Amino acid sequence: MKSIVIHAAKDLRIDDRDEGISAPSTGEVAIRVAAGGICGSDLHYYNHGGFGTVRLREPMILGHEVSGYITQVGAGVTGLSVGQLVAVSPSRPCHDCRYCREAKYNHCLNMRFYGSAMPFPHVQGAFREHLIADAAQCAPADGLSPGEAAMAEPLAVCLHAARQAGPLLGKSVLVTGCGPIGLLCILAARRAGANLVVATDLGPFTLGMAKAAGADVTINMGTAPEMLAEFGADKGTFDVLFECSGAAAALASAVPAMRPGGTIVQVGMGGDMMLPVQAITAKELGLRGSFRFHDEFFTGVSLMQKGLIDVAPLITHRFPMDDAVRAFETAGDRKQAMKAQIVFSGSH
């Protein structure tokens, strides 16, 4: 079975692996993977061999944004059928640790998240031709394309961030960083009733995509930072900030535009950041982290099926599995790519 395997930084190979080719056990399904999106964490493994203290210590199959068609159904599985397209959640909590017992599944102490080098041995990812998954991971994606279904994971990240922000109806929202997560936060904020959405980034391509996704105002912080400064009048404008870049400079420039009592939701994970603590204190701003998701995965699939959130315009590139290196190189080019996906053999 072909799999996309990272061996070291810039050493990406199509290897023959045997993971995922056995018959499904009780409560499991076998899946022929159809589409997979390249995420920022995949790019960190590809470009740098890891991120922060998380480093590759053995070859690892990449990928966690996938969809596919069920080929076999194990005993005890209901509600899923052979031939059905499903979005596959990469999140597999243990359901037994203290946080799972508190229903904080995204903080599971024994999380098995596809394509993660955090534990050792590493948790192998889902960029492979065949996959065995728990039925509980699978959201029926009838009516969606494989590419749309594979967007359920990043959409779930942003729906969880919106939940962290609290009620958004009528609120003014700032989104810093217009990669896929930033754009999906724009879509989530709009669906939740945000009245004003402003987006910032450094490039015309990403800002154009943000405008198309529904941002009222887009600001190029490289060429016109004064446009954001205008929103700082009278102690600020924005009720909520979705900080999606993971860059300290983006957060620092956003805080003056926040109104007193506003909420910062830190979504981007670019590494440790210096915080403008005094300004946050003086404005009595709330700072909320947002990490992964759980039930929002299934909510996201439902919203896409109902036509309430359209992710298709974000998928700018598709590559065959054998062209994985070019796919990863393109995915990292923010001058031309938003979401690049792998199309696996035999998908339709």
Segment 204-224, tens digit of pLDDT: 999 999 999 999 999 999 999
Q: Please tell me the predicted confidence (pLDDT) of residue 292.
A: 94
For the stretch 249-266, pLDDT in tens is 999 999 999 999 999 999
For residues 11 and 120, the answer to whether their CB atoms sit within 8 Å is no
DSSP structural state of residue 24: P
Question: Quick check: 12 pLDDT over 70?
Answer: yes
- CA gap 316, 144 in Å, rounded: 17
Q: Would you state the structure tokens that stand for residue 172, as one six-digit string?
A: 């003014």
The answer on 242 and 229 residing in a single domain is yes
268 occurs within a structural domain: yes
The answer on 335 and 284 residing in a single domain is no
For the stretch 67-113, pLDDT in tens is 999 999 999 999 999 999 999 999 999 999 999 999 999 999 999 99
171 occurs within a structural domain: yes
The answer on 217 and 131 residing in a single domain is no
Domain harbouring 209, CATH code = 3.40.50.720
- CA gap 240, 16 in Å, rounded: 47
The answer on 68 and 32 residing in a single domain is yes
The pTM of the whole model exceeds 0.85: yes
Phi and psi, residue 123, nearest 5°: -85, 115
Q: Please tell me the predicted confidence (pLDDT) of residue 273.
A: 83
The answer on 136 and 167 residing in a single domain is no
The answer on 208 and 247 residing in a single domain is yes
Q: Would you state the structure tokens that stand for residue 247, as one six-digit string?
A: 């860059």
Confidence of residue 225 (pLDDT cuts 50, 70, 90): very high
Mean pLDDT (whole number) for 49-53: 88
For the stretch 121-176, pLDDT in tens is 999 999 999 999 999 999 999 999 999 999 999 999 999 999 999 999 999 999 99
DSSP structural state of residue 291: -
The answer on 22 and 146 residing in a single domain is yes
Burial of 172 (0-12, 13-18, 19+ CB in 10 A): buried
Q: Please tell me the predicted confidence (pLDDT) of residue 348.
A: 42
Question: Quick check: 19 pLDDT over 80?
Answer: no
301 occurs within a structural domain: no
Confidence of residue 270 (pLDDT cuts 50, 70, 90): confident
Q: Please tell me the predicted confidence (pLDDT) of residue 286.
A: 97
**CA dihedral defined by 292, 336, 193, 175, rounded to 10 degrees?**
70
Question: Quick check: 347 pLDDT over 50?
Answer: no
The answer on 117 and 39 residing in a single domain is yes
Q: Please tell me the predicted confidence (pLDDT) of residue 52.
A: 82
Question: Quick check: 56 pLDDT over 80?
Answer: yes
Phi and psi, residue 316, nearest 5°: -95, -20
Question: Quick check: 271 pLDDT over 90?
Answer: no
For residues 294 and 5, the answer to whether their CB atoms sit within 8 Å is no
299 occurs within a structural domain: no
* Average pLDDT, rounded, for the chain: 95
The answer on 51 and 141 residing in a single domain is yes
Q: Would you state the structure tokens that stand for residue 185, as one six-digit string?
A: 């936060």
Question: What is the domain count for the chain?
Answer: 2
298 occurs within a structural domain: no
**CA dihedral defined by 78, 83, 88, 92, rounded to 10 degrees?**
40
184 occurs within a structural domain: yes
Mean pLDDT (whole number) for 221-239: 97
Q: Which of 187, 198, 201, 206 is nearest to 148 (CA)?
A: 187
297 occurs within a structural domain: no
The answer on 192 and 135 residing in a single domain is no
296 occurs within a structural domain: no
Q: Which of 86, 113, 139, 67 is nearest to 342 (CA)?
A: 67
Q: Which of 30, 32, 4 is nearest to 348 (CA)?
A: 32
> What residue numbers bound the domain in which 238 lies?
156-289
Q: Please tell me the predicted confidence (pLDDT) of residue 20.
A: 62
pLDDT > 70 in the chain, percent:
98
pLDDT > 90 in the chain, percent:
94
The answer on 166 and 246 residing in a single domain is yes
The answer on 208 and 89 residing in a single domain is no
Domain harbouring 55, CATH code = 3.90.180.10
The count of other CB atoms within 10 Å of the CB of residue 189 is 26
Helix ranges (H only) for 220-313 are 226-229, 248-254, 277-282, 296-305
Q: Please tell me the predicted confidence (pLDDT) of residue 53.
A: 86
